[in-house]
Structure formats: structure tokens, C-alpha cells
Amino acid sequence: MASLQQKDSDIGPTLRLRLRQTDQPSPEEVISESEAAKVLWGQWHNLLLKDGILYRNAGGKYRRPSVLQLIVPAAKCREFLACCHEGMTGGHRAFRSTLAN
């Protein structure tokens, strides 16, 4: 996953910067990058590395525990979406149970 993230045109620039430094780079350092890369740069303080893989620290709102979200490279997006939405464990919850939560 780390090598796929490094090769990704949107994730790679932020990942390489994060590997080199902990402080958020200046806007000038990412001005030539894609819009998606700039969005990741804007989330700098919520990004963290674990075993060389980039994650977003998400959650922690409304008394929910924070969770790590994998930043999925474009090469794996279809596969990840299929895993989340197909088969017995995929899909969306029923309308009423969604409203109840």
C-alpha cells in the first residue's frame, strides 16, 4: 500500500512531504500539485503515518472514538468500494435503522 500511495499523483506529494517533515509545508510548496493533493495538504494536522502508510485521523466528534482512515490510492479505489458495498457485509443499512441511529 505504501508504494501505491507514493506512486499516486494525488497522495504521493503529501506522503513524501510527511515522510520528510512534521511541520505543515508552506502553500508555495504545494501550489503546483493537483486539487486533491492540496486538499490532503489542508488536512495535514489530521494525517499520520503508520508503517509508511498515510492515514487520516477521523472521528472524535459527538463522543465517538477517533478512527484511522486509510488514504486509498486511485489504483485501489474500485477494489475498496467493491469490498465495502458488495456481498453479505456490504451495502447500506435499512432505512429505518439508519434513521434510528
* CA-to-CA dists, residue 32 to 11, 13, 25, 29, 39, angstroms: 14, 10, 13, 8, 13
Instruction: Name the pTM for this structure.
Output: 0.78
Q: Assess if residue 41 is contained within a domain.
A: yes
pLDDT at 44: 96
Q: Assess if residue 95 is contained within a domain.
A: no
SS3 of 27-85: HHHCCCCCHHHHHHHHCHHHEEEECCEEEEEEECCCCCCEEEEECCCHHHHHHHHHHHH
Q: Assess if residue 93 is contained within a domain.
A: no
Q: Assess if residue 14 is contained within a domain.
A: yes
Q: How confident is the model at residue 84 (pLDDT cuts 50, 70, 90)?
A: confident
Q: Assess if residue 34 is contained within a domain.
A: yes
Q: Assess if residue 13 is contained within a domain.
A: yes
pLDDT at 81: 83
pLDDT at 10: 96
Q: Considering its fold, how many domains does the chain have in total?
A: 1
- Burial pattern 75-96, b for ≥16 Cβ within 10 A else e, equals eeeeeeeeeeeeeeeeeeeeee
Q: State the average pLDDT for the chain.
A: 86
Domain that holds residue 60: 2-73
Q: How confident is the model at residue 85 (pLDDT cuts 50, 70, 90)?
A: confident
Q: Assess if residue 53 is contained within a domain.
A: yes
